[in-house]
Every structure is written in C-alpha cells, then in structure tokens.
Amino acid sequence: MSVKHAKPNLNQSQVAEMVKRLFSLTPSEMRSLPSYDDQNFYVAAVEGGEYVLKIMNSEHSKNPTLIEVQTYAMAFLHQNGLPAQKAIPNTAGQSISMEEIGIIHGDLSDQNIIVTPIANGHHEISGIIDFSLLMNGCYVFELAITIMYLMLENPNPLDVGGPLIAGWESIMPFSDDERDSLYLLVLGRLCQSLVYGQYYSRKYPDNKEYILTTARNGFQMLAKLWELGKEEVERKWFSDASTFSVNN
C-alpha cells in the first residue's frame, strides 16, 4: 500500500478549541471513540446536545467530493426516516449539491450499527454511524459485509446468514449472480479485513487492540468457512432464510 493515511493525533485541548471555533459549542464532556485511521470524539455541549466529532485522516480530507457524498448519504437516510448520523453545519455554513446516486455504506459492522433493547430480550436498530467507507458498489456487497462482521460476534456463526438474507430478500430479491456470489463475497471481505488489520496494526500500534478486532475470531472463521465449502454454507444460509421467512 503506497498511500499513507496519516491518522490525526489531536489532544482534548485542541479538540475543544476546534469545537468552539468551528461550531460555537462549549464542550462539557469529551472522550475518545474508536477509529481505524481517523480520530473520533464524543462531545457533550454546555449549550445542549450530544455529538460525534470526526477528524478525517490526511488523505481522505483532501477529497471534498468524498466528504460531500458522505454528507449527502447521511442526509438522505435521515430525511427518509432511517436512523443515521446527521451532519451539522459549522460556523461557515454547509451546502449539499449531489444528485441522488447508487451508493452503499461499505462498513455495516457491529461497530457501526447502534441497537436499543426492547421487550423480551430483543433489540431494534436505532442508529447507523461511520460513513467513511461510502462507495459506489453492488448492493449485495452491503449484505456480504454485514454477514461477515456479525458472524464474528456470534457463537454459532452460520446462524447469522439466514435471517439477514430473509430480511434482504423481503425488500430486494437476489439475482442469480448475486445469490451465487454471496459466499465468496463474505470470504473476500473477511480476507480484506484481516489483511488490513495486520497492516494497520503495525502502522498504528497504539490502536492495535481495536484494529485487530476482526483477527480475534477471523482466521478461525475463514478456515472453517473454507473447509465447509460454498455448497454447504449456502445450503445452511438459504435453508434458514426460507424457514425464517415462513415463520416470521
């Protein structure tokens, strides 16, 4: 990887000054939040309200189109009643000029999906955060990414695919090519996450614990999925999806 994404390294005093200068807010509480190659802070303001401040890395911050697309996506989801971050204007104001385009979040992991407890031990999605990997892409990539990350946190990883596939197809039925590619897309994203984790953990050793989140179970899961093979994994996923759809 030849491109270096220099991660910001601001202290809390610098962040507090930035919040006052750019947003006319006085922090009453601040704490650092996990991030891969950006810097994130929780900020509670004396004036009221709670915010997440994202300070982008030196490479992505050079790309105003990328920032504009991310802001547009958040606004689009928010305006359509979906729980997502909402960008607030700084003291210089803010404009959004993007036309509606086909985009995916690109990182719908358990780290970026906020849930709220409801009755009987169940949870519902109450927020979606971190649009830094927003991209043009096939919609099925989104499903593969989510399946992969949620499998990592489940004691029975193969049980994850069925309900997610059932929910997906209730809105967006698979094409033959999408159905056929899902297994390899999940494995591909897992490989990508593991390789990136090894690279960035060496680059940012102070953030190693967070960066290597996937690696805790990822290598074992990759070996297991490969050992089971495409046919067996797909049989389990799509059989479960069919049952889940009928029973729910």
- 11 contacts: CB under 8 Å, gap ≥ 6: none
Strands (E), 119-236: 123-128
Task: Look at residues 102, 70, 95, 63 and name the one whose alpha carbon lies nearest to residue 84.
Answer: 70
Q: Distance between alpha carbon 77 and the CA centroid of its chain, in Å?
A: 14
Q: Which of 37, 38, 107, 130 is catalytic?
A: 107
Q: Which residues of 16-38 are buried (b: 16+ CB within 10 A; e: fewer)?
A: bebbeeebebebeebeebebbbb
Residues belonging to the chain: 248
Q: How far apart are CA 71 and CA 86, in angstroms?
A: 8
Contact indicator for 77, 113 with CB cutoff of 8 Å: no
How many other β-carbons are positioned within 10 Å of the β-carbon of residue 68? 15
177 among known catalytic residues: no
Positions marked active-site? 107
